[in-house]
Amino acid sequence: MARALLVPLGGLILVLWAFWGWEANHHLGGLLLREAGALLEAAARLEEPRALEGLEVRWTARPKDPVPLLGEVGAQAVLSPKGLEIWAARPMPPGALELERTYPLYRPSLLFPLLLALGAGLWARARVSGEIRRRLGLSPLEAASRLGALEAALQALEEGVAVVEEGAVVLLNPKGLALLGLPQGALTPLSLGRVWPELERALRAKGAWGVEEVLPLPTGRPAWVRVVPLGARRVVVFQEQAELFRLAESLTQSRRHLELLRAQAHEFQNLLHAVGGLLELGRTEEALRLVQGELAAEAELAALLGRVELPIVAALLLGKVRRARERGVLLRLEGELPARYAPLGEVLAFVVGNLLENALEAVPKPGGEVRLLFRPQEGGIAVEVWDNGPGVPPGEEAVFLPGISSRGVGRGYGLALARAQVRSLGGDLGYHREEGWTVFRALFPEPRSGPSL
């Protein structure tokens, strides 16, 4: 705060010093003019005016400036680089008495303005510190540290945050600027009606109550908006709905991976128990056949996954095969996934994982069958997931709406987000029924050259 007061205090000192000097020189000029007039009057009454030449009073036939009327004295003070110049004249036929002097300017001391400005600065500091303590209960240094921490936290938030007051956005964090399509560094306050008309209408409709609903952003994308009234201000927290879907699906995928690890651990535990029991009974040949059969199944699985040249997708399929085996469902893989689709690896893994998980949950257990097909297409590749479950009526688009699911609360975001991601790449995702099979088909275009997604 002291540094912030340096400039205004310095300006105050200079203004006071200049004003004091101007007033002093103005007063001095008036005194000198009266003195010059008195000398000329005295010289006019003398029989020999030249007696005052030692006081710079002289008689001249050609004065420097026009002289006033007879019996009057004319005088003027001029500020020049030499100092304060005084000129006075009185008519005295056939010429005039003239006086011309130069005085140094009065330069006041800086001590008084400095003391005055210092006192004003101390008074201002005390008032500001008292106001901060009264409002926040903190010293100025503590308040500055706290505000810095809050500013850093606001800058780091992944959600958009806006503070609205009297129809204007008075505070907006960088994420909020990006979501609203505003350039970084845009200065507030901003008119809410121009920045986000939909929110203004929602606030006007809700009155003093809070808002918690989905509203379109100025960019056209839907966002989940929550408004918290705080006195005359309203704090608006908002995030793109697609991002929330992604987070919800990530949580669902994490839960599924945990279930997969549990199933895999249970499968190996059962195998170890079976092998241990056979060894205790002395049936070593049967135990050996069981182990060899498991190794053969693993080798067959490795060969099967060898046709998938994307490690992230191959690792996903390995887990899904084990999950299908645990549930008594047959999972088959057909076709190949070339390595040139590596830039789409994360999206492919996400879409394939969602489609396979939905299919594994839809088919009867045991006895269900799921097929995963990679079909090359002109300009891309089609990923198809077939299952012999009951399916849904063809053309029913509700399965792609967010939050629509028959498997409980918090589900139903996978297909919606999968379709959104495929379409963002220029492809599409749909489904149909074919001879008792439900077929979900995702078409991926050839990847553009560039880094992996």
Which tokens belong to 399? 């399965």
Verdict on whether the full-model pTM lies above 0.95: no
176 is a domain residue: no
* pLDDT at position 371: 92
Which range is most confident: 31-40, 197-206, 315-324, 343-352? Answer: 343-352
Give the number of other CB atoms < 10 A from CB of residue 83: 15
β partners of residue 443? 382, 428
451/303: higher pLDDT:
303
93 is a domain residue: yes
337 is a domain residue: yes
pLDDT tier at 255 (50, 70, 90 boundaries)?
low
User: Of 183-197, 220-234, 286-300, 423-437, where does mean pLDDT reach its minimum?
Assistant: 286-300
Which range is most confident: 4-13, 269-278, 420-429? Answer: 420-429
199/296: higher pLDDT:
199
40/427: higher pLDDT:
427
Residue 302 has pLDDT above 50, yes or no: yes
181 is a domain residue: no
Contact (CB, 8 A) for 159 and 224:
no
* pLDDT at position 398: 62
User: Of 6-10, 95-99, 144-148, where does mean pLDDT reach its minimum?
Assistant: 6-10
236-252 burial: b if 16+ Cβ within 10 Å, else e: bbbbbbbbbbbebbeeb
Distance CA 22, CA 29 (A): 10
CATH of the domain at 331: 3.30.565.10
pLDDT tier at 453 (50, 70, 90 boundaries)?
very low
149 is a domain residue: yes
6 is a domain residue: yes
How confident is the model over 40-79, as pLDDT tens digits?
777 777 777 666 666 777 777 777 766 676 667 777 777 7
The H-assigned helical ranges of 328-445 are 345-362, 414-424
266 is a domain residue: no
- Averaged pLDDT for residues 147-172: 81
Nearest of 108, 92, 100 to residue 33 by alpha carbon = 100
339/106: higher pLDDT:
339
Nearest of 66, 115, 128 to residue 91 by alpha carbon = 66
- Averaged pLDDT for residues 212-217: 79
Domain ranges, residue 337? 306-445
Mean pLDDT, rounded, of the chain: 77
pLDDT tier at 267 (50, 70, 90 boundaries)?
low
* pLDDT at position 384: 94
Give the residue from 129, 156, 183 where a domain finishes: 156
pLDDT tier at 451 (50, 70, 90 boundaries)?
very low
- Averaged pLDDT for residues 94-119: 78
Give the residue from 136, 156, 176 where a domain finishes: 156
* pLDDT at position 408: 46
Give the residue from 133, 156, 179 where a domain finishes: 156
Which range is most confident: 1-10, 14-23, 109-118? Answer: 14-23
How many structural domains does the chain have? 2
pLDDT tier at 452 (50, 70, 90 boundaries)?
very low
* Integer-rounded Cα radius of gyration of the chain: 46
Q: Angle, to 10 degrees, between the axis of helix 241-280 and the axis of helix 345-362?
A: 60
- Averaged pLDDT for residues 319-325: 80
Strand ranges of the sheet holding 160-165, from the earlier edge strand across to the other edge: 190-191, 168-172, 160-165, 233-240, 222-230, 212-216
109 is a domain residue: yes
- Averaged pLDDT for residues 257-279: 65
User: Of 32-46, 172-186, 396-410, where does mean pLDDT reach its minimum?
Assistant: 396-410
* pLDDT at position 173: 85
pLDDT tier at 440 (50, 70, 90 boundaries)?
very high
- Averaged pLDDT for residues 192-210: 75
